[in-house]
Structure 1
Amino acid sequence: MLSRNFFRLLVRGAHQTKSAVSFSYIASRKLHKSVCLQKNPQVELTAVRYPEVKRGNYSELTDRHIKFFESILGKDRTLTDPADVEAYNVDWIKMVRGQSRVVLKPKTTEEVSAILKYCNDETLAVCPQGGNTGLVGGSVPVFDEVIISTSLMNQIISLDELSGVLICQAGCVLEALETYLSEHGFIMPLDLGAKGSCHIGGNVSTNAGGIRLLRYGSLHGSVLGVEAVKANGEVIDCLSSLKKDNTGYHLKHLFIGSEGTLGLVTKVAIHCPPSPKAVNVAFLGLNSFDDVLKTSISARRKLGEVLSSCEMLDHVTLDAVTSNLNLRNPIGEHPFYMLLETSGSNGEHDEAKLNAFLESSMSSGEVLDGTVANEPSRIQYLWQLRERVAEGLVHDGYVFKYDISLPLKEFYTIVPKMAERLAGNKKFLRCCGYGHIGDGNLHLNITSKEFDHDLHNLIEPFVFEWTSKLKGSVSAEHGIGFKKTKFIHYSKSDSSLNMMHDIKKLLDPKGILNPYKVLPK
């Protein structure tokens, strides 16, 4: 048995100070979109790459339309210069690219209402857009939709320090909310690698999960209310701040996860838990996925109420971060890695539980190596090894990304199966798996130098057929967006899809809100 002092080893040899780590980490997340665009500014148009998708019967944008938008927003918030508009047309992983000619940047719900009413009257399709950090093509136009950016709707309206309920506009950046709340002794119930760029409205619209779902649950539970604008400009006020409100249908749930197809979320009321007084992070090396499963089960049983995150990476995933982003692996080379976080109110109690768990796991041989951190900058450094994976993979070139839920015993089986399937394709560079082992959410990623149709056809629909066969979900937390509309039937019955279509027709009869997304034609 290794001594307890072994587990107190922190990340040594990091070539950055606390401030440097923080700056480079945050800056990298905020700049990831522009970096990707600079690498390949001419992403193939979605209309070209996916010719089977046809433009709907929507009006063409005219100078008359532009003048109306300028009458509401002014010229400075009505972007028409192609150089300004282009960045809003492309998703950050270079997967899809639209052809919009205008970006509108409202500041208030009233402006959103006026814009949508006009677009509905004129049958102009619109694409709501937050931080544009989505991974399924849901946040950029497919053709020439009018882009409505929430980037200037970034006001924090109130924080009730008795209940912990925060009310804010949809365009607030997640990290800005986290910073604000920390000054008042609270945290956001979700945390994402893209928190330096993503908007809370986009998080709600996609029902984003992230690394804290294990502890705090999904946004369907944390979001107490929303304000949203329907396609016809009608404002739906469901901005309740009550934890319990059992009056009629819970309409807020229609907008959580609907990806802007039923209404544009403009305000959010969200319940925020108190900040933990003590946080510990352990980064562990393991020999097999079976050991990962055993360690995950043991962590939930032995750490119980203090376990806030339980993440898994395979060695190919970690290599994308260490090789492409020059981060250092703080422990030896292993086939699998886990990152565990505990957060609670009593540091000594939490530390004792974590050390006892780790000593037990190493004695049994499930964990081979590890390091623990409880100092903020070193905790942050360890989390970079997980949170910057998406950024590291993009450096390979093109990334085929799949976000699926699977039964835990089958959680990793698709990764070696897919690698074997792709082995004969010369364009294939890397196949890896990582994700939230605590809630069964795997992120499967395949990289190549550039998009390749043959490689794409080897991956799809096989990945979805495999997931369906195991009774999993084809989307765990990223949504359906544009990329998965024709695969949603693998996880939803015909009766469910018919009801979704009925709701869409009721709330958006002309179909102007984020067309070509979520629902199959």
Structure 2
Amino acid sequence: RYCYEKNLAVTPQGGNTGLVGGSVPIFDEIILSTALMNRIISFNKVSGILVCQAGCILEKLNEYVEEQGFVMPLDLGAKGSCHIGGNVATNAGGLRLLRYGSLRGTVLGLEVVLADGSVLDCLTSLRKDNTGYDLKQLFIGSEGTLGVITAVSILCPQKPKAVNLAFLGCPSFPKVLETFTTCRAQLGEILSAFEFMDEKCMELVEKHLELSNPLTGNGGACAVGRGILLLEGVLTSFCVSMSVSALGLFGFLCSWLHQALWSLRERITEALTHDGYVYKYDISLPVEKLYDLVTDTRARLGRSAKNVVGYGHLGE
């Protein structure tokens, strides 16, 4: 309210993990951090509805609800530092979007402070609310331009009893797309994530982080899929059929090495920083056009760029 009356610019900041500069002040602005607004207000063990302040770190929230038998509906590589308020303000997708959908469907309510300092209380914990306009949708993805999110009510799904992971090597990106299409058709709702990373990503992860590439010597792009272990037989059958099909895949199914394999995908950004300054672009494209951007950028930059790599969420 003071800033509004004095006509002072305010820049909200959460975990500073965004890639579009939304939390970076440009002029002489006041930074408003949500870091100390990190309290869990309530959690309903029956409905799985979590109400918390906007400064709660995503990873901490996931650890909390996991103890209650639930999981957060989103998972990001920056989960150790990003704030739930920033996740909502940017409508973050991430690794679990394929299974649980976007935050527009799982966020039930918001508390928002508007530019004039007034508080908009839409912090409902009802899954269905037909009373008037759904105002919270204006603030999901608004990136702080309409107000500062201070509290969130979010629906958490049940934690799977166990998960399994398939790690596949594909000779080209078109083959990755074919694998993804077949995977969705055969696995259906048990598929919770589908990630890809190109061969250059794997080389850098091996070189700088000393992580072992289980597909060394097979080349091409890699695909990582995650599914519920309750239907392990279905996932196993899928991997077997893929390995002997015309797609030319090489890979394996694994549950006990789950975290080690997933680290290959999550630590790509860390590996890139060892080779110099990194320009990262978190963009949305039609999935069939996704890798064209990488090949075009490599051609344009030539030797002026040490590495141009591609990786990301195909399910998003």
Tell me which interval the TM-score lies in, with the shorter structure as reference length.
over 0.9
2:271 is equivalent to residue 392 of structure 1: yes
Q: Is the 8 A contact 1:229 1:266 kept in 2?
A: yes
Letter in 2 for 1:177: L
The one-character-per-residue Cα deviations of 1:97-121 (angstroms, maximum 9, x if unpaired) are xxxxxxxxxxxxxxxxxxxx01111
**Deviation at 1:294?**
1.0
- Who is 2:69 aligned against? 185
2:250 is equivalent to residue 373 of structure 1: no
**Deviation at 1:367?**
4.6
**Deviation at 1:369?**
1.9
Matched length: 315
- Who is 2:225 aligned against? 340
- 2:20 aligns with one of 136, 139, 153: 136
- Who is 1:419 aligned against? 298
Give the secondary-structure state (helix, strand or coil) at the position aligned to 2:127: coil
- 2:183 aligns with one of 291, 296, 299: 299
2:274 is equivalent to residue 274 of structure 1: no
Q: Which runs of 5+ in 1 are unaligned?
A: 1-116, 440-521
Q: Is the 8 A contact 2:194 2:224 kept in 1?
A: yes
The one-character-per-residue Cα deviations of 1:296-343 (angstroms, maximum 9, x if unpaired) are 011101111100001111111222322222211122231110000002
2:79 is equivalent to residue 200 of structure 1: no
Give the TM-score of the pair, scaled to structure 2: 0.96
The one-character-per-residue Cα deviations of 1:202-251 (angstroms, maximum 9, x if unpaired) are 10111111000000011011100000000111000011111111222111
Alpha-carbon distance in 1 for matches of 2:23, 2:281: 17
**Deviation at 1:359?**
0.7
- Who is 1:61 aligned against? none
- Who is 1:352 aligned against? 233
4+ runs deviating over 3 angstroms: none
Q: Is the 8 A contact 1:332 1:369 kept in 2?
A: no
- Who is 1:504 aligned against? none
Q: Is the 8 A contact 2:11 2:30 kept in 1?
A: yes
Give the secondary-structure state (helix, strand or coil) at the position aligned to 1:353: helix
- Who is 1:262 aligned against? 146
Q: Is the 8 A contact 2:35 2:55 kept in 1?
A: yes
Shift in alpha-carbon separation, 1:144–1:324, aligned structure 2, 3 A: farther
- 2:243 aligns with one of 359, 362, 371: 362
Shift in alpha-carbon separation, 1:340–1:151, aligned structure 2, 3 A: same
- Who is 1:404 aligned against? 283
Which one has the largest radius of gyration?
1
**Deviation at 1:406?**
2.2
The one-character-per-residue Cα deviations of 1:431-453 (angstroms, maximum 9, x if unpaired) are 111111123xxxxxxxxxxxxxx
% identical equivalent positions: 56
Q: Is the 8 A contact 2:165 2:224 kept in 1?
A: yes
Give the secondary-structure state (helix, strand or coil) at the position aligned to 1:430: coil
Q: Is the 8 A contact 1:155 1:169 kept in 2?
A: yes
Q: How much is the aligned-residue C-alpha RMSD, in angstroms?
A: 1.3
Give the secondary-structure state (helix, strand or coil) at the position aligned to 1:303: helix
Q: Is the 8 A contact 1:127 1:139 kept in 2?
A: yes
- Who is 2:110 aligned against? 226
Alpha-carbon distance in 2 for matches of 1:144, 1:319: 43
Q: Is the 8 A contact 1:204 1:219 kept in 2?
A: yes
**Deviation at 1:371?**
2.9
Q: Is the 8 A contact 1:205 1:256 kept in 2?
A: yes
- Who is 1:34 aligned against? none
- 2:3 aligns with one of 100, 119, 144: 119
